[in-house]
Amino acid sequence: MMTKNEFMNYEAAKVLDYVPAEIRDILSVEPVTVVKMNDQKLNGLRFMMDKNAPCPTHYLDDAYEMYQDGLDPDVIAERTAEIWAEASRNTPVAQTSNVIYQNTEDDVEDTVIPRFIKADGDLNRIFFIDEKDKALTFSDNRIAETIRRTNAKMIIFDPLTSYIGEDISINLANEVRSRMNYLIDVAKETGCAIVIVGHMNKMSGAKAMYRSLGSIDVVGSARSCLLIGTAEDNPDNKIMAVQKSNLAPKGKAIEFSIHENQLPPSYFINVGTLMEKEYFIKGTYSSHSAFIFVDELYPENGSVRTLPQNTYMSVASDNIALESKYAKHLYEEIQRNEMIPCGDYLCEVLTQFPVHQAKQLIYKIQVPVQRINGRESMIRGFY
């Protein structure tokens, strides 16, 4: 009879015999122990492709009990490989992941956790590195250790000045760069996204890139930078704009507002995204705006947009992964009916159960259309 550690190591090695041959050489499997926020320890296997972007951990505590009851460990390995392969095929792009959140400005117990709960966050998914006995800096080995232990996909440091370290000057480029390089190495090794929240300096009139506190090398080390400020024409609204983007087009700025205890949950059932007509026609399918449908009770703040009455052609589906495919079919159907788009493309969520998860979701994509040269055409929605 194998001990639990022996069992985990055996399964990690054996499961590779049952994964598809074409990915066997680029897949690595290792036993891990994950400590949840409630201090519960779970043991399982972590699957990693090219030693990067780890998949969700497959826990084997129950399987070990079945092994103790007489189940063949090879059968367990084969079934584990089947479950992982199925999950890999069906995992959506956006998936629930573990997050590490470090914040020195708000107390975890009385502020951070209540906010997280209010936002319907899963407390089993958020982790913290204890700083009571030792302050954390960007060069602390506990960062990489905690990322690996929790299989976190994102770690947030808030604010920058609390974690850059007291032993360096935030205004000296060479010192800042060496400190940031450690984080870059951690991100490469673990596949974990690193988000740093920073405050702006008082240099009004300067370019946004130079408004970050400290050396420009802080911004220079990042792949992308977002700037959030107050809208000049409406102080109640905020504007989020991309100041730097190394891996994709910057896109357009987003104006938004935050309302506390004013909006009923029913508003957030009919939500969606908006894509400009030009992107839909070109087939690039790039959307930079999200919306919710509201009624006359919604507080007026200048952000409400009324959709014009029109004839729409639409497609409904329960598979969000096929949206771009259906968008292409929708445009082909518009052309077949000798029509043209005359407004922006909308993707609207019709139903979603449970409300806070996307496991059962029905959505509709729709585009306002008009006839060409006044010719009659039949408009229809297809599913």
Positions of E strands within 20-139: 27-35, 41-49, 58-59, 98-103, 126-127
Position 27 scores a pLDDT of 81
What average pLDDT score do residues 182-186 get?
89
Q: Residue 379 pLDDT > 50, yes or no? A: no
Reported pTM: 0.49
Tell me the pLDDT tens digit for each residue of 12-43: 999 999 988 877 777 888 888 876 545 567 88
Are the C-beta atoms of residues 365 and 346 closer than 8 Å to each other? yes
Quote the CA–CA distance of 170 and 287 in Å, as a whole number: 36
The candidate with the shortest Cα–Cα distance to 321, out of 283, 347, 291, is 347
Quote the CA–CA distance of 166 and 352 in Å, as a whole number: 48
Quote the CA–CA distance of 369 and 58 in Å, as a whole number: 48
329: tokens are 């079919």
Does residue 159 have a cis peptide bond before it, meaning omega lies within 30 degrees of 0?
Answer: yes
Binned at pLDDT 50, 70 and 90, residue 294 comes out as confident
Q: What residues form DSSP beta bridges with 271?
A: 292
Tell me the pLDDT tens digit for each residue of 304-352: 778 778 889 999 888 877 888 999 999 999 999 989 999 999 998 876 5
